[in-house]
Structure 1
Amino acid sequence: MTIILVTGMSGTGKSTALDRLAQLGYRVVDTDVGEWIEDAPLPDGTGVEPQWREDRIDALLAEHELSGAPLFIQGTVWNQSKFYPRFDEVVLLSAPLAVMLERIADRETNSFGKATEERDRIVADTIEIEPLLRSAATVEIDTRVAVGAVVARLVALA
């Protein structure tokens, strides 16, 4: 039983990689879809930020720990670090900012990043958040390579 968190900034290819893993028969959970996330206050009271619904993530992991099959979870949220001890790998997908912004401009399945203020947030988050993700990651994959190569590396971890 292997549980792998796939994390990274918008436009790095997380959803694309998970789609391919699902096509190969792996169990995947995209926490950006469904009721895995809620907007919740930050502990310091400075604002509200999307966070995992800890009860649901805990139940998912507990159920999966009994299955023996690999599980890939995709997400980039403020409270994901609470679950790091339960992941076998924390994989950061990364790409240069220009590549991420180009992908976001070209994608048709997700509207996030199309508006100027959203693009500005992606730039700011890449500067502020990506180094934190990198410091916690057990593996980093540069997604400028072909999607098949990214997926092969993820499969090798499972």
Structure 2
Amino acid sequence: MSKVLITGMSGTGKSTALRILDSRGHRTVDTDYGRWSHEVTLSDGSSDWVWREEAMTDLLTGHEEGGLFVAGCKSNQGKFYPQFDHVVLLSAPAEMLLARVMTRTNNPYGKRPEERAAILENLRVVEPLLRATATMEIDTSAPIEQVVRQLEGLASLRSSRC
């Protein structure tokens, strides 16, 4: 069974898709929470929220049965791409992302003007980088059920990476 990374900007539906996949019995990990990520200070003094590399290595090397869906968008995730069978970029138009983050109740990120500006900047700068390295892109302006069906279809497929 496959290891699938679900990545994308805030508001694309990563957490929603993960919750549905989990409710259907798939193994899921949301790297925005718990032991999977932590804040680091960069050489320029700024901070970044990155994957805990030891925890992610243990997760990916230790997973042997069934499909695994991992969701997140971290600056160091590319180090782990070779361990995933599929890297799926979830995307949606900017207006939809901003509307979603304003109305969601499970995550406060995106409510403040500076966070909304950061989402738009990440859409401009980061999303093209994710698109260039993804093995598949799913437009989440489609109904969530359709998005989840596409993700579930990957669970039994082995690597599509070159």
With normalisation by structure 1, the TM-score equals 0.95
The answer to which of 88-97 and 44-53 deviates more is 44-53
State the match for 1:33 in structure 2: 33
State the match for 2:160 in structure 1: none
Cα deviation digits, residues 32-60 of structure 1 (max 9, x gap):
01021111234x64632111000000001
Give, in whole Å, the separation in 2 of the partners of 1:18 and 1:95. Answer: 17
For residues 120-135 of structure 1, the aligned pairs below 5 Å read 120-135=117-132
Q: Does 1:148 align with 2:162?
A: no
Structure 1, unpaired ranges of 5+: none
Q: Does 1:22 align with 2:22?
A: yes
Cα deviation digits, residues 74-96 of structure 1 (max 9, x gap):
01000000000000000000000
Give, in whole Å, the separation in 1 of the partners of 2:48 and 2:123. Answer: 16
State the match for 2:83 in structure 1: 86
Give, in whole Å, the separation in 2 of the partners of 1:45 and 1:117. Answer: 21
Q: Does 1:50 align with 2:43?
A: no
Partner SS state of residue 62, structure 1: helix
Give, in whole Å, the separation in 1 of the partners of 2:45 and 2:14. Answer: 28
Give, in whole Å, the separation in 2 of the partners of 1:128 and 1:89. Answer: 22
Structure 2, unpaired ranges of 5+: 156-162
Give, in whole Å, the separation in 1 of the partners of 2:24 and 2:131. Answer: 27
Give, in whole Å, the separation in 2 of the partners of 1:120 and 1:35. Answer: 28
State the match for 1:59 in structure 2: 58
Partner SS state of residue 51, structure 1: strand
Give, in whole Å, the separation in 1 of the partners of 2:105 and 2:45. Answer: 33
RMSD between aligned residues: 1.0
State the match for 1:71 in structure 2: 68
